[in-house]
């Protein structure tokens, strides 16, 4: 089984759980990796498209874990098994992840842990997850094949969690830990913005937005 560093690292964030659901499982790599690590006993693999569904069905049937898997061709959490207590959503945009979770907010009441790998709109997603009463307990900023990923573990809390603009943009835990890959990413972002500013034709309003963003990055990196 060839698993990417991104998926393996996300899998390594997962705490031992009896029954986990993987929404948008596609090739089924993540749940099969979790079984091989003895981190889960049961998995629901969810796909809403026939091509990826067939792919995950084949991967599961060829694995030693087929009797421990429930496969559903369904949208998001619409057919989530009531006994699932942890959910993974990986490899999608933040807006899509947020809409999948918000649409079935009621079902989240029995979900203690969320594991998320969002490839865009991460600030907005973190704020929505806070609104849904999930708190970020662990996050890993990772460089894999020249791309950067921010992998999250969130736990359900009693109350809503409020993240401010700075925490949502940079990640509340990264702001404290300042991992080398996170520093590398934000230094590159800063450089990109500084390069744009070198162009004298950049209009004043755009210039002031970029200057504000650069100073936010400098403050975060300090």
| Closer by beta carbon to ligand SAM, 100 or else 136 | 100
Q: For residue 154, what are the β-bridge partners? A: 114, 136
Euclidean distance between CA atoms 174 and 78, whole angstroms: 33
CB of 150 to ligand SAM, least distance (A): 13
| Closer by beta carbon to ligand SAM, 100 or else 127 | 100
Question: CA–CA distance from 113 to each of 9, 54, 56, 135, 138 (Å)?
Answer: 16, 27, 23, 10, 11
Reduce the secondary structure of 166-215 to three states and give it as a string: HHHHHCHHHHHHCCHHHHHHHHHHHHHHHHHHCCCCCCHHHHHHHHHHHH
Q: Which range, of 44-52, 120-128, 134-142, 184-192, touches ligand SAM by CB under 6 A?
A: 44-52
Tell me the per-residue interface mask from 174 to 193 with ligand SAM, x by CB under 6 A, - otherwise.
--------------------
76 interacts with ligand SAM by CB under 6 A: yes
| Closer by beta carbon to ligand SAM, 2 or else 200 | 2
**Which token pair is 100?**
């999948």
Q: Classify 12 in phi/psi space as left (phi over 0), alpha (psi -120 to 50) or beta.
A: alpha
Candidate list 14, 20, 21, 24; residue touching ligand SAM; CB under 6 A: 24
CB of 48 to ligand SAM, least distance (A): 4
CB of 135 to ligand SAM, least distance (A): 23
| Closer by beta carbon to ligand SAM, 28 or else 217 | 28
| Closer by beta carbon to ligand SAM, 40 or else 90 | 90
């Amino acid at each position: 089984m060839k698993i990417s560093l991104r998926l393996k690292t996300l899998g390594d964030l997962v705490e031992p759980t009896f029954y986990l659901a993987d929404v948008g499982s596609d090739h089924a790599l993540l749940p099969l990796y979790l079984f091989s690590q003895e981190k889960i006993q049961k998995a629901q693999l969810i796909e809403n498209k026939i091509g990826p569904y067939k792919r995950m069905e084949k991967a599961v049937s060829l694995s030693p874990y087929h009797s421990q898997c429930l496969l559903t061709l369904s949208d998001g959490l619409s057919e989530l098994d009531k006994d699932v207590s942890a959910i993974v959503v990986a490899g999608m945009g933040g807006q899509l992840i947020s809409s999948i979770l918000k649409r079935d907010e009621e079902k989240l009441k029995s979900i203690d842990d969320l594991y998320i790998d969002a490839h865009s709109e991460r600030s907005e997603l973190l704020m929505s997850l806070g609104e849904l009463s999930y708190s970020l307990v662990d996050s890993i900023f990772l460089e894999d094949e020249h791309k950067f990923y921010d992998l999250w573990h969130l736990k359900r809390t009693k109350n809503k969690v409020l993240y401010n603009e700075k925490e949502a943009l940079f990640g509340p835990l990264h702001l404290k830990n300042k991992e080398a890959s996170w520093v590398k990413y934000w230094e590159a972002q800063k450089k990109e913005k500084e390069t744009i500013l070198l162009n004298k034709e950049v209009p004043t309003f755009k210039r002031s937005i970029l200057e504000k963003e650069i100073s936010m990055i400098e403050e975060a990196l300090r």
